[in-house]
Amino acid sequence: MTPAGASRQPSMLYVTTTFPTLAAFIENEVKRLHARGVRVQVVTLRRKSTEYQPEHAPLLELTQEIGSPFALAGWGALLAWLVRKPHVLVPEVAHMLWASRRSAYALAGHLAYLPAAARVASLAQAEDIDRIHGAWAHFPASVAYLAAKLTGRRFSMAAHAGADLYRTQAFLAPKLLAADFTTACVRGNADMLRLLAPGARVEWLYHGTDLKRFGTIVRARSAEPMLLVVGRLAAPKGFDDALVALGHLRARGLTPRFVIVGDGPQRAALEDLARSQGVESQVEFRGALDHDGIAPLYAQAWMLLAPSKVMANGRRDGIPNVVIEAMAAGVPVAGTRATGIEEAVIPGRTGALSDPNDPKALADAIEPLLRDAAEIDRLGAIARTSVTETFDADANFEKLWALFFAAAS
């Protein structure tokens, strides 16, 4: 299936950080585009990932690393563009760096990725690419923006949360205004971007989830309460607060099994915290699992916990994919009002909410549900219906497809 009126195979470059990953939302976009006949390539600013969903292994063939500031090819490409289009490159780079002057993080990143932007521009020209898409709003979008300016290709971008929107907003408004469109996967973030760049086309579009995979999981809730967290073991996830909440629940006579899926820099600290809270015997660290490995846990879990929080440097989640996966599987979610989770989790209907950085409040939200299995089942059934109506990845991809190709017509 190709876009209506297309006279040749459409083509696109996705610029991202690393690829493919276990998160899978960008991967699913690329997979669907490729399946529909789009000549899509992915360029990464960091090394290719070694952890990804098994079904995304073929995407490695579409991917190349391009972002190292130490690669001579990048500096050669930058010099070539400086000779060919100094009237474009010099003012655009000056604008980008001036906009970054108050953020060492933004300034260093924009300087480091100038060679990558030149390489992307050269690739887009050599491969006759129609569109350059920044898959994240920070450095990938800046690389895509500059490459599009140099080559005259169409430019679009996606905004998520955390580092790409809140660690710095240096040079964000010019990218928003230059893009054909920007997608934002959290409604609150879409509203923020519209205020930041009035006149920019910002579309609120959830990633969604694969209902064929998660919506068909047959619930087999464990007889004894089991709580589940899934994600990278990193501070913004708030898994430390979940363990402290588990300690509060233990003091109240509740000792649910607690399964942690994922790996990351906080693992040792979380293991120590489980011991200090006296809940070590309840906690299981399963490491990173693919979708097939997580599915039986969704079937058994009483609740998924998503105690996300905002870090001092702006890092945060948006709506974690696992929240939508769990809800699709019929698992209610206890999350925090911090980063967009409240757009999916409705207290009394699909789960419970508490304030971030407050383990006692999280325990208070969880406790009544642990004492009422029938309520768990009721909330889970509503959660599954809610996801079907709003977070269907197939339906949401059709909206993205329309944006890509309506903008090109």
At 408, the pLDDT band (50, 70, 90 cuts) reads: low
According to CATH, the superfamily of the domain at 211-390 is Glycogen Phosphorylase B; (3.40.50.2000)
The predicted model gives 195-199 an average pLDDT of: 97
Residue 237 is predicted with a pLDDT of: 93
- The burial of 91, by beta-carbon neighbours within 10 Å (0-12 exposed, 13-18 middle, 19 or more buried), is given as exposed
Dihedral, 21, 23, 29, 31 alpha carbons, nearest 10: 50
- Residue 11 has phi, psi (to 5 degrees) of -140, 155
Report d(CA 42, CA 20) in Å as an integer: 9
pTM of the model: 0.89
Has residue 407 got a pLDDT over 70? Answer: no
Give alpha helix (H) positions in 179-238: 187-196, 211-214
pLDDT category, 29, cuts 50, 70, 90?
A: very high
Fold: same for 11-208+392-408 and 211-390: yes
Mean pLDDT of 13-36: 93
For the cut 80, the answer to whether the pLDDT of residue 353 exceeds it is yes
For 224, 247, 282, 301, 366, the CA distances from 373, given in Å and listed in that order, are: 10, 21, 19, 11, 12
What is the rounded distance in angstroms from the CA atom of residue 239 to the CA atom of residue 140? 28
Residue extents of the structural domains in the chain: 11-208+392-408, 211-390
* Strand residues in 264-359 grouped as ranges (E): 283-287, 303-306, 333-336, 351-354
CA-based nearest residue to 288, from 22, 49, 27: 22
Residues 6+ apart with CB under 8 A from 226: 256, 257, 258, 259, 300, 301, 302
CATH 3.40.50.1820 fits 11-208+392-408, yes or no: no
Tens of pLDDT, residue by residue over 59-94, are 999 999 999 999 999 999 999 999 999 999 999 999
| Non-local CB neighbours of 152 within 8 Å, separated by 6+ positions | none
Tokens of 43: 């360029």
What does the pLDDT read at residue 312? 75
